[in-house]
C-alpha cells in the first residue's frame, strides 16, 4: 500500500490595493483592470461598474465592493 504525499500549496502575498482604491467612495462598486493596476469603473451597482469597465475597454474586470465607513474589519479603528 503506498502512502499519499501531502499536497503542496503555493501562497502569494496579498496585493496592497489601498493606493488604487484611496479615492473610491464608501459603498461603491469599483471595477479594476484585469491586472489590478488601475480603476476602470465606479458605480453604485455591480452591473453599472462592470458596464463602465467594458466602455473603458476592460473585458475582464476585477470587481470590488468598497465597505461603508462603519463596516468592515477595521470599522472601529481610527
| HEC string for 8-35 | CCCCCCCCCCHHHHCCCCCCCEEEECCC
Task: Categorize the per-residue pLDDT at 76 as very low, low, confident or very high, splitting at 50, 70 and 90.
Answer: low
Q: What is the pTM of this model?
A: 0.74
**Residue 19: is its pLDDT beyond 80?**
yes
Cα–Cα distance, 49 to 35 (Å, whole number) = 17
| pLDDT tens-place string over residues 23-68 | 999 999 999 999 999 999 999 999 999 999 999 999 999 999 999 9
Amino acid at each position: 500500500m503506498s502512502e499519499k504525499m501531502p499536497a503542496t500549496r503555493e501562497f502569494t502575498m496579498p496585493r496592497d490595493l489601498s493606493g488604487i482604491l484611496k479615492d473610491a467612495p464608501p459603498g461603491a462598486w469599483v471595477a479594476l483592470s484585469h491586472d489590478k493596476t488601475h480603476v476602470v469603473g465606479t458605480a453604485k451597482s455591480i452591473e453599472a461598474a462592470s458596464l463602465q469597465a467594458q466602455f473603458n475597454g476592460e473585458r475582464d474586470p476585477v470587481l470590488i465592493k468598497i465597505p461603508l465607513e462603519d463596516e468592515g474589519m477595521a470599522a472601529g479603528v481610527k
